[in-house]
Amino acid sequence: MLKNDIAGGIRDKALWMRRKAFTMVFDAQLGHPGGDFSAIDIVATLYFGVMRYDSQQPDMAERDRFIMSKGHATGALYTALCAAGYYPEDWLATYMQPQSKLNGHPNRNYLPGVETNTGPLGHGMPVAVGIAISGQLTNSDYRTFVLTGDGELQEGSNWEAAMTAGHRKLGKLTLIVDRNRLQQGMGTEETNGLDPLDDKFRAFGWDVAMVDGHDVEALMAVLSEPAGGRSKPLCVIANTIKGKGVSFMENKASWHHGVPNAEQLAIAMEELA
C-alpha cells in the first residue's frame, strides 16, 4: 500500500475514534475527552501505520508493545483497540458502566491488548523501560512504545526511568510525549515548567525528535524509523492541541475531564463528520 493511502486510512481511523470516544464520554457522563483528542492521532498512527501485532494473538511474543501511561485517556486507547480488532464495537457502549471491561483506566486482566494497568501517573514509563530491558536481555526484535502526558512528567519516576533507559542504551524504546501544554486546571508551564524538554532528554542520553502530533505523515516518518541500529532510546515530543478536532474544546483546560451535554455532542458530531 502506498504511504499516502496508509496516511489517509489512519486519518479516517482517527476521525472514527474521535466520534466514538466523545459519544462514550457523553453516554457515561465521565471521561477525559481533551486528552483523548490530543493523543488520538498518535495512537491511530501507532496501531494502523507503525506497530506489529496480531489482535487474534494478543500475547504473540514478537509483537510490538504499547503502553498508554496517561491511563485516563482510555477513549483514545479503547477505540484504537476496538478498531484494531481486539474486541467488538458493542463493547464501547459499556464504557465505565457497572461490571464493564472498559474501566476508567485500562486493566490488562479485563482487556486483550492492554500490556499493563495504568492510571496513577508516572507508572507506565518505568514499566516500558522494564519491558525494553527484557527485550534487550533476550535479544528480542520487538519495539516498546510508551505515551505519556506532558503534565505527567512532573512525576519523578519518569526521570528515574529515563536515566536508566539512557544508561542502558535502550535503542528499541520510544517515548512519545503528548505535549499539549495543558493539564488538569492550567498550563504545564504555569504549574511546573518543563521547557527545554528536548534538552532534558538529551542530557539523560536520549535521541530527541520534535513533531506535529496531528501530522500523520510526520508521525509515521519518525515512529517508523528502524530501531535496530539505534544506540539510544528515542523521545518524540509531539506538539498537540488538547481537544483537537472540536472547536469548543481546543486548548481549553476545562475539557481535561469535561463532559458534553446533548447540544455540545451534536455540534461535535457535525464538526467531526
Give me the CATH number covering residue 223. 3.40.50.970
Residue numbers of the chain with a pLDDT score lower than 70: 1-3, 227
DSSP track, 169-227 = T-TTEEEEEEE-SB-SSSBHHHHH---SHHHHHHHTT-EEEEEETT-HHHHHHHHSS--
What's residue 239's pLDDT? 98
**Residues 54 and 113 sit within 8 Å (Cβ to Cβ):** no
| CA–CA separation, 10 and 201 (whole Å) | 29
In whole angstroms, how far apart are CA 208 and each of 39, 174, 224?
A: 19, 10, 14
3-state secondary structure of 144: strand
Domain that holds residue 96: 3-271
What's residue 129's pLDDT? 98
What's residue 195's pLDDT? 96
What's residue 225's pLDDT? 81
Task: Determine how many CB atoms are found less than 10 A away from the CB of residue 137.
Answer: 9
Task: Determine how many CB atoms are found less than 10 A away from the CB of residue 33.
Answer: 27
If one counts the domains in the chain, the total is 1
User: What global pTM score does this model have?
Assistant: 0.97
